[in-house]
Amino acid sequence: KAGVTQTPRYLIKTRGQQVTLSCSPISGHRSVSWYQQTPGQGLQFLFEYFSETQRNKGNFPGRFSGRQFSNSRSEMNVSTLELGDSALYLCASSSSDESSQAFFGQGTRLTVV
């Protein structure tokens, strides 16, 4: 069974631009969560999608948004990029079982210059 796939692996963008990151969950998993990882703040929850609906949202500004498609693939978008958005963005998928664990992808390393 293929794991969680995130694309692209690396990305360099300029301040003010926008970026879209993609996540393909494990087959059969309907929940996709996004996390931001930085050296200073560690791993922070961005949002979670389940069956195309945002189920939970972390404490991030509105520049961060996401969506989920009918095949459970998810995208997150960051608009008007700031230098502080440079981070590793991780996607995790899980099944709908309450005891299911979250499986993480390898992440997308975003650098804003």
Partner 1 sequence: GESVGLHLPTLSVQEGDNSIINCAYSNSASDYFIWYKQESGKGPQFIIDIRSNMDKRQGQRVTVLLNKTVKHLSLQIAATQPGDSAVYFCAEKEYGGSQGNLIFGKGTKLSVKP
Interface region with partner 1, contact rule CB under 8 A, candidates 13-21, 37-45, 61-69, 72-80: 37-45
How many residues line the site for partner 1 (CB under 8 A)? 31
* Site map (CB under 8 A) of partner 1, residues 77-106, x = contact: -----------x-x-x-x---x-xxxxxxx
Q: Does 45 bind partner 1 (CB under 8 A)?
A: yes
Interface region with partner 1, contact rule CB under 8 A, candidates 13-21, 46-54, 60-68, 70-78: 46-54
Tokens 């059969």 label which residue?
28
Q: Do 100 and 25 form a contact (C-beta atoms < 8 A)?
A: no
- Can you tell me whether residue 27 is helix, strand or coil? coil
Interface region with partner 1, contact rule CB under 8 A, candidates 12-20, 36-44, 67-75, 76-84: 36-44
Q: Do 50 and 70 form a contact (C-beta atoms < 8 A)?
A: no
CA distance 17 to 24: 24
Q: Does 33 bind partner 1 (CB under 8 A)?
A: yes
Q: Does 58 bind partner 1 (CB under 8 A)?
A: yes
Strands 19-24 and 5-7 turn out to be antiparallel
